[in-house]
Amino acid sequence: MTSLFDPYRLGSLTLPNRIVMAPMTRARATPDGLPTASFAAYYAQRATAGLIVSEGIWPSPQAQSNPNTPGLFRDDQVAAWREVTHAVHASGGRIFAQLQHAGRVGHPEISGHIPVAPSAVALEAQLFTGKGMSPAPVPRALSTDEVAHEVEAYVQAARRAIQAGFDGVELHGANGYLIQQFLSSNVNRRTDAYGGSIPGRVRFAAEVARGAAEAIGAERVGLRLSPGAHIWNIEEQDVPELYAALLAELAPLGLAYIHLTATADEALLLSLRQRWPGTLIVNPSNLMETSATDKAAGERWLSWGADLISFGRAYLANPDLVERLRSDLPLTPADPETFYGGGDQGYLNYTSYQR
């Protein structure tokens, strides 16, 4: 039986185990989107993971979703991220950059730009802007020609990620952000080639993946998906057909992996496993619930055909998570008050297990 601690070959990378550190927003970058020295220490502490996927990184100024989150579209950001990737590699780890475009989950007070989206449909939510909570504004609908510019933003950020020393990129197609907004049936009200039918709704995701694969090599590109998730008020019609069509478009590309979150029932997720010919990462934790992924859930999904298992919240307070899971050691609970923002408290002060 496959174990969490078996090695795995991912493209040109040999992963020492099948445990992935999931992307998690920590909101500790500088106001202008630079990762700090603390980033390098934080990720290096967790380098025993088979693979680390970074927190969401905005690929363009317009893409930012939260204050104090990092970007990857300027030379100084590339240089700052290079310090992070060097620290991870020096500690024996491997790290992908998650590229996250907020779409309508943004605010001018955060990014300095009116957010863009498939259609001018406002998010019915309050957003934290750094100056308090404010209603999400009505986004500007992208013209057909402008969609290509957003695809190119991902492509250029993927190139910069490789320049910064990342081993690859994960495109954030989940959790209600721009790629999933195009997949949706309530935010995407377009009547051009990027909307309406299922082939239209999957087109943007496929073009982003294809563009990134052509730019840096398909074996360096992954895609995270949350089928049927209602995060940030997303609705998706015909979820099984929608994601089957998307995977059919992506399969010929030879991507590094698909990363699924458990936002749909197990039967649907298992059907997507059968449709996807490549590496599958599963995060068994539903973001809409409070339970974190545990060892038993990870092993269950490995037995069901997943290749790698991602752990999110368990990694916040347990930098030595691999060893704790291997030895069945207790996990330290994380302090929710320090999940986002602030300094090194709740970020670098968690230590390895003390026997």
User: pLDDT per position in the chain (355 positions), as tens?
Assistant: 899 999 999 999 999 999 999 999 999 999 999 999 999 999 999 999 999 999 999 999 999 999 999 999 999 999 999 999 999 999 999 999 999 999 999 999 999 999 999 999 999 999 998 888 999 999 999 999 999 999 999 999 999 999 999 999 999 999 999 999 999 999 999 999 999 999 999 999 999 999 999 999 999 999 999 999 999 999 999 999 999 999 999 999 999 999 999 999 999 999 999 999 999 999 998 665 656 788 999 999 999 999 999 999 999 999 999 999 999 999 999 999 999 988 999 999 999 998 6
Angstrom distance (rounded) from CA 13 to CA 22: 18
Could you give the C-alpha distances from 319 to 16, 97, 313, 334, 353, in angstroms and in order?
16, 19, 11, 11, 9
Full-model pTM: 0.97
H helix runs in 91-197, sequence order: 108-111, 144-163, 178-183
Indicate which residues carry an active-site annotation: 177
At residue 287, the pLDDT reads: 62
Give which of 184, 98, 194, 99 is closest to 148, Cα–Cα: 194
Q: For tokens 């090695």, name the residue.
A: 7
Number of H helices, E strands in the chain: 11, 14
**Maximal CA-CA distance, the chain:** 61
Angstrom distance (rounded) from CA 49 to CA 311: 10
* 3-state SS, residue 315: helix
Angstrom distance (rounded) from CA 337 to CA 334: 9
At residue 48, the pLDDT reads: 98
Could you give the C-alpha distances from 348 to 26, 57, 256, in angstroms and in order?
12, 20, 30
What own/partner pairs with CB < 8 Å and gap ≥ 24 does 344-349 have?
Answer: 344/38, 346/316, 347/26, 347/28, 347/38, 347/42, 348/38, 348/41, 348/42, 348/45
CA 114 to chain centroid, in Å, comes to 23
- CATH T-level fold of 8-338: TIM Barrel (3.20.20)
Q: Return the amino acid letter for 92.
A: G
